[in-house]
Amino acid sequence: MSTIIRLTFIEIRKKKILYLTLALTVAFLILYGTALNYAYDSLEIQEAFMRTTISSQLITMGIYAMIFIISFLSIFSSVGAISSEIENGTYDAILAKPIKRYEIVFGKFIGVLLVLIPYITFFYSSIIGLNIFFGKGMIVNLAFKSILKSLLTLYLLPILLTSIGIFFSSFMSTMASGVILVIMYFCAMIGGFLEQISIAITIESTKQALNNIGIITSLIMPSDVIYRKTSSLLFTTSSGLNLSISSFISSNTQPSSAMMIYIIVYILSMIILAVRKFQRRDL
């Protein structure tokens, strides 16, 4: 398995999309930092409550943009992990050696994450660091414990998307896997948005319908749940007060621990199903 992990890691490093993503990430951070510089300069004359509200929104905007970039990098790094090798006939030579198919699945899974996890750590730390640097005491008081818990929760996003991508890749073509996973991701995002705005709806039937849509989409694709949990953990104080802008607008509460356990079970299920599908696939 270690050989598959190493080869997958080297393969992803050689892809142009990785270096293009890194270049665009640096460009984004420069643009984001410039915007923060001007934004925080204008906040110096504002009241404390306004500074807290706007600073939390600035951090949330950065994290939301980061989520998009991380998600698409995770999707496009995983959907071809197995199917592209099958299409190229690589496994005819690999499987002739004493290598189990489950080792290939786990090796691909771990190899992709070895690239994504350090990237996410850098990206997330940069966004928080830029806000702390330009905020100069004006930002929400972010505790190190909250930042760490938020980052650890964020790691679930690439793990989730990679597990689903490899599952599809084990029995579908690269193109089909990518299209389906992207559609699922956007459906989850819209479902989460509908669930959030249902709080402000006064008509009970409409409110329940929107809430049910959000719950169903979260069960099918829980990616939006991870974003909301990450944001909530970051802005939740030791007293339990949520200082995120979404909390002020919709009285949002963070996703439950049961939902996070569901996500872990979901990920494990995707990996197990990927192994079973790949073992039965005729190469």
Domain map of the chain by residue range? 2-280
As a whole number of angstroms, the distance between CA 73 and CA 138 comes to: 33
* 259 token code pair: 């939902």
pTM assigned to the model: 0.88
pLDDT of residue 96: 61
Per-residue pLDDT tens over the stretch 24-78? 899 999 999 999 988 888 877 677 667 777 888 889 899 999 999 999 999 988 9
The closest of 37, 281, 251 to 169, measured between CA atoms, is 281
When mean pLDDT is compared over 38-52, 56-70, 149-163, 268-282, the highest value belongs to: 149-163
pLDDT of residue 70: 93
* Contact of 71 with 156, CB cutoff 8 Å: no
pLDDT of residue 283: 64
The closest of 66, 72, 76 to 31, measured between CA atoms, is 66
List all residues 6 or more positions away from 168 whose beta carbon is below 8 Å from its beta carbon: 79, 176, 177, 180, 181
pLDDT of residue 124: 96
* Contact of 132 with 90, CB cutoff 8 Å: no
* Contact of 173 with 83, CB cutoff 8 Å: yes
Mean pLDDT computed over 142-146: 84
Per-residue pLDDT tens over the stretch 174-197? 999 999 999 999 999 999 888 888
CA distances to 8, 11, 38, 97, 253 from 78, rounded to whole Å, are: 10, 12, 38, 24, 32
- pLDDT for residue 251 is more than 50: no
* Contact of 243 with 56, CB cutoff 8 Å: yes
As a whole number of angstroms, the distance between CA 80 and CA 85 comes to: 8
Mean pLDDT computed over 151-170: 95
- pLDDT for residue 92 is more than 70: no
Per-residue pLDDT tens over the stretch 113-124? 999 999 999 999
- pLDDT for residue 268 is more than 60: yes
Which own/partner pairs from 177-182 qualify as long-range (CB within 8 Å, at least 24 positions apart)? Answer: 177/79, 177/80, 177/83, 178/75, 178/76, 178/79, 178/80, 181/75, 181/79, 182/72, 182/75
User: Average pLDDT of the chain?
Assistant: 84
The closest of 16, 127, 11, 13 to 68, measured between CA atoms, is 127
